Amino acid sequence: MNQRSTTLIIVLSTLAAVATGKTIRGGDHHRELQRNRIIGGSEAQEDRYSFAVSLQDRIGHFCGGTLISPDTVLSAAHCGGGGYDIVVGRHDHGDRDGEVMSVKKERKHPSYESDTTHNDFMLIFLDKPVSVNNVKFASVTDNFVRANEAVTVVGWGDTDIDLDEEELPDELQEVEVYTIGNKECDDSEGIIDGERDNYNGQITSSMLCAEHPKRKDSCQGDSGGPLVKKSGSGSGEEFELVGVVSWGVGCAHDDFPGVYARVSAEYRWIKEEVCKRSSRPPASFGCGGDSADKVDDSASTTNTIPSGSWRTVMNEDFIGGFGKFSIGGLGSKHYPSAKGKRGVALVENRSTLSSNVMSLNSGESRIRVDLSAQFLNFENNDEFCLDSLDWSSGDLKYKEEKCWSLRDTESKKWINKTFVFDAPSRSVSIRLRCAGNDKHDDVLIDKVQVRAQ
């Protein structure tokens, strides 16, 4: 079974062609990552699926993705790597409308397996939120999609069923398909190119299969593109992202359904990463709030602080020293006063500042961190991060909870930041970290409060 390359091969006519590559699991050939094919569909109504985005490099479109918040795209992990932009709000590739967005960071699922395409997810965080007005966002939930549900896949893929021929539309295409159970999908077998093949043992819990009786099912869209459930109509129509186009055998083959990454299976990972890295996460995620963003952009922010009472676990004002951060860190400094504040700690370049371990009461499961900080000499790719001690790891490593950059706040001005995350265990320790690339990248910290709920 052959992997279909995630890059475009340019022939003399400069047409994009799909290339087969190394064997990635079972059998001898045929198994391909989905690229640029949407069979048996029709042109979508312009702006109806405006959450569908195009990943484009200097050659052109090579993968699809789904806008799930103003600065976050969900795509396929096998689409990742290399330099590219995200094109938003452009129905027709022959036009120049919409917006071309730069990529700030891409995060592949930590358990993605390239040879099996298990957990074929990648989150792409944009350099800034989109500003085009007519863009919708697809919702992400943990709702499990059962068999026999009507779903829609969209993309700018090849509309010719023949793998040796290409008919590439400029306009976004759509096709309705129907989900099938994972066991039925795993039992799929048949003849392709004169040889017998099957899906046996290849369909994991992170996958979702869909097909159509009229040969519309196996190569429906671009890698990374959306598979959605629709509800409502007109201006009230809503779209729930249930799958990410991943792989399949052949193209619109009667015996082999299309295989998608099942979004509900990794909802928790998606939510945690988006809450950490997005400046405008979906309101449905209930991410920790950011008080500075609320003051500066209260009309549009979606960050919320869970209601209810909070117990103060730690207050530190750094007057007289590091105080509750006495276990210190790497390269941190203390000042009796700085920038108009009494008692200030500093982290710079790659330095850290770690707190003592704090005990939680029975039943407390959420941690809220409020801090006052000032960014000095930051550049756009520098970050100030909040980490928590991961008690589940044998060597007690810190894991990242939230990072802020100049895209989220202002430089050389005291600002207040708030973030809420799940308590890692019955105890908590936080670490403040500067992730810069220059010795002059500094963050001053005036106050830190930790509360539990």
| Number of alpha carbons in the 13 Å side-chain half-sphere of residue 189 | 9
Q: How confident is the model at residue 233 (pLDDT cuts 50, 70, 90)?
A: confident
Reply yes or no on whether the pLDDT at 106 is more than 60. Answer: yes
The stretch 58-71 carries a mean pLDDT of 89
Reply yes or no on whether the pLDDT at 370 is more than 60. Answer: yes
Question: Domains in the chain: how many in total?
Answer: 2
Question: Considering the domain boundaries, does residue 15 fall inside one?
Answer: no
Question: Of 197, 268, 226, 223, which is closest to residue 25 (Cα–Cα)?
Answer: 197
Reply yes or no on whether the pLDDT at 74 is more than 80. Answer: yes
Residue with tokens 């201006």: 235
Catalytic residue check, 93: no
The stretch 108-117 carries a mean pLDDT of 91
What integer pLDDT is reported at residue 338 of this predicted model?
86
Structure tokens at 34: 């989905």
The stretch 389-415 carries a mean pLDDT of 81
Reply yes or no on whether the pLDDT at 19 is more than 50. Answer: no
What integer pLDDT is reported at residue 306 of this predicted model?
61
Reply yes or no on whether the pLDDT at 300 is more than 70. Answer: no
Specify which of 50-64, 196-210, 426-440 reaches the highest per-range mean pLDDT.
196-210
What integer pLDDT is reported at residue 253 of this predicted model?
65
Residues 242 and 333 in one domain: no
Reply yes or no on whether the pLDDT at 11 is more than 70. Answer: no
Q: Which of 252, 287, 322 is the last residue of a domain?
A: 287
Q: Is-contact 263 140, C-beta < 8 A? A: yes
What integer pLDDT is reported at residue 439 of this predicted model?
59
The stretch 311-319 carries a mean pLDDT of 92
Higher per-residue confidence, 191 vs 245: 245
Question: Of 281, 240, 286, which is closest to residue 263 (Cα–Cα)?
Answer: 240
The stretch 78-97 carries a mean pLDDT of 85
Reply yes or no on whether the pLDDT at 79 is more than 80. Answer: yes
Reply yes or no on whether the pLDDT at 265 is more than 90. Answer: yes
What integer pLDDT is reported at residue 97 of this predicted model?
80
Quick count: other Cβ atoms within 10 Å of Cβ 413?
11
Reply yes or no on whether the pLDDT at 322 is more than 90. Answer: no
Residues 206 and 340 in one domain: no
Reply yes or no on whether the pLDDT at 331 is more than 80. Answer: no
Residues 226 and 91 in one domain: yes
Question: Considering the domain boundaries, does residue 20 fall inside one?
Answer: no
Q: Is-contact 218 252, C-beta < 8 A? A: yes
Q: How confident is the model at residue 377 (pLDDT cuts 50, 70, 90)?
A: confident
Specify which of 202-206, 295-299, 360-364 reaches the highest per-range mean pLDDT.
202-206
Q: Encode pLDDT of 160-194 as tens digits.
A: 445 444 455 678 888 889 999 999 999 988 887 77
The stretch 397-422 carries a mean pLDDT of 85
Residues 265 and 150 in one domain: yes
Report the distance separating Cα 269 and Cα 261, nearest Å.
13
Q: Is-contact 319 343, C-beta < 8 A? A: yes
Residues 276 and 324 in one domain: no
What integer pLDDT is reported at residue 63 of this predicted model?
87
Per annotation, catalytic residue among 69, 139, 188, 223: 223
CATH number where 409 lies: 2.60.120.260
End-to-end CA distance of the chain: 51
- Length of the chain in residues, anyone? 453
Q: What domain range is 239 assigned to?
A: 35-287
What integer pLDDT is reported at residue 24 of this predicted model?
24
Question: Considering the domain boundaries, does residue 23 fall inside one?
Answer: no
Reply yes or no on whether the pLDDT at 415 is more than 80. Answer: yes
Per annotation, catalytic residue among 50, 61, 75, 78: 78
Mean pLDDT score of the chain = 79
Question: Considering the domain boundaries, does residue 123 fall inside one?
Answer: yes
Question: Considering the domain boundaries, does residue 9 fall inside one?
Answer: no
Residues 239 and 318 in one domain: no
Q: How confident is the model at residue 437 (pLDDT cuts 50, 70, 90)?
A: low
Q: Encode pLDDT of 27-61 as tens digits.
A: 333 445 544 345 455 787 887 999 999 998 877 88
The separation between CA 156 and the C-alpha centre of its own chain, rounded to angstroms, equals: 21
Q: Is-contact 220 170, C-beta < 8 A? A: no
Q: Is-contact 277 105, C-beta < 8 A? A: yes
Q: Which of 238, 271, 287 is the last residue of a domain?
A: 287
Q: How confident is the model at residue 144 (pLDDT cuts 50, 70, 90)?
A: very high
| β partners of residue 421 | 367
Residues 262 and 367 in one domain: no
Residues 209 and 121 in one domain: yes
Report the distance separating Cα 260 and Cα 242, nearest Å.
9
3-class SS letters over the chain: CEEECCCCEECCCCCEECCEEEECCCCCCCEEECCCECCCCEECCCCCCCCEEEEECCCCEEEEEEEEECCEEEECHHHCCCCCEEEECCCECCCCCCEEEEEEEEEECCCCECCCCECCCEEEEECCCCCCCCCCCCECCCCCCCCCCEEEEEECCECCCCCCCCCCCCECEEEEEEEECHHHHHCCEEEECCEEEECCCCCCCCEEEEECCCCCCCCCCCCCCEEEEEECCHHHCEEEEEEEEEEEECCCCCCCCEEEEEHHHHHHHHHHHHHHHCCCCCHHHCCCCCHHHHHHCCCCCCCCCCCCCCEEEEEECCCCCCHHHCCCCCCCEEEEEECCEEEEEEEECCCEEECCCEECCCCCCEEEEEEEEEEECCCCCCEEEEEEECCCCCCCCEEEEEEECCCCCCECCCEEEEEEEECCCCEECEEEEEECCCCCCEEEEEEEEEEEC
Of 2-16, 29-43, 65-79, 363-377, least confident by mean pLDDT is 2-16
Catalytic residue check, 71: no
Catalytic residue check, 422: no
What integer pLDDT is reported at residue 390 of this predicted model?
84
Q: How confident is the model at residue 436 (pLDDT cuts 50, 70, 90)?
A: low
Question: Considering the domain boundaries, does residue 383 fall inside one?
Answer: yes
The model's pTM is 0.62
Residues 198 and 81 in one domain: yes
Residues 219 and 166 in one domain: yes
Q: Which of 255, 287, 319 is the last residue of a domain?
A: 287
Higher per-residue confidence, 327 vs 122: 122
What integer pLDDT is reported at residue 438 of this predicted model?
60
Question: Considering the domain boundaries, does residue 1 fall inside one?
Answer: no
Per annotation, catalytic residue among 75, 85, 91, 120: 120
Residues 353 and 434 in one domain: yes
The stretch 61-74 carries a mean pLDDT of 93
Of 3-12, 267-276, 372-381, least confident by mean pLDDT is 3-12
The stretch 222-250 carries a mean pLDDT of 89
Residues 250 and 317 in one domain: no
Question: Of 230, 155, 145, which is closest to residue 180 (Cα–Cα)?
Answer: 145
CATH number where 103 lies: 2.40.10.10
Question: Considering the domain boundaries, does residue 393 fall inside one?
Answer: yes
